[in-house]
Homo-oligomer: A and B are copies of this chain.
Amino acid sequence: MSIRVQTEDFDLTAELAALRSSKTDIGAIVTFIGMVRDLNEGDAISTLTLEHYPGMTEKSLSDIEKEANSRWQISQSLIIHRVGTLKPQDQIVLVAVTSPHRAEAFAACEFIMDYLKTKAPFWKKEKTSQGERWVEAKSSDDEAQARWKQSD
């Protein structure tokens, strides 16, 4: 389990090579990459700036990884989230999960993204021709996260 919060971009091939290097029981790798879209609510985006809460971010991502690890058979997982100022089509986030079984890798990767979207303390501010504005949270993200709730 590994977590990084960084301003630098990441290279998927290199990250996956590192993730796989120590394991030989991997049958499946599922990865998610989130990118800056060129449009939001009809306006062209020139830049997107990500702020976060150092300390809580790492704790929150680590808690999400641990929860995924307790629910599914995961060999390795990696979360990289960028902060700072990005342009359209820049990579924002990488979640990679390896597992002996593909269904577990898919579920764990999607779970991590749905929780990250609603629990991890990141905030986006976008610059458009209309000026700067904070991105609003989406209720669809809350609904996506709520799907995973377990009844005790």
Take A12-B13, A20-B89 as given contacts and tell me if A35 and B28 are in contact as well, using a CB distance cutoff of 8 Å.
Answer: yes
From residue A18, how far is it (CB to closest CB) to chain B in Å?
Answer: 13
Contact with B along A1-33 (1 / 0, CB 8 A): 000000000011110100010001111111111
Compute how far the CA of A109 lies from the CA of B28 in the bound complex, rounded to whole angstroms: 13
From residue A119, how far is it (CB to closest CB) to chain B in Å?
Answer: 16
Take A13-B11, A13-B12, A89-B20 as given contacts and tell me if A33 and B25 are in contact as well, using a CB distance cutoff of 8 Å.
Answer: no
Across the interface, which residues of B come within 8 angstroms of A102, CB to CB?
Answer: 32, 34, 110, 113
Across the interface, which residues of B come within 8 angstroms of A31, CB to CB?
Answer: 29-31, 33
Q: Is A38 interfacial (CB 8 A cutoff)?
A: yes
A residues 111-148 in Cβ contact with B at 8 Å? 113, 144
Q: Is A52 interfacial (CB 8 A cutoff)?
A: no
Take A13-B11, A106-B106 as given contacts and tell me if A30 and B32 are in contact as well, using a CB distance cutoff of 8 Å.
Answer: yes
From residue A19, how far is it (CB to closest CB) to chain B in Å?
Answer: 11
7 closest Cβ contacts across the A-B interface? Answer: A13-B13, A24-B38, A29-B33, A106-B110, A27-B37, A31-B31, A12-B13
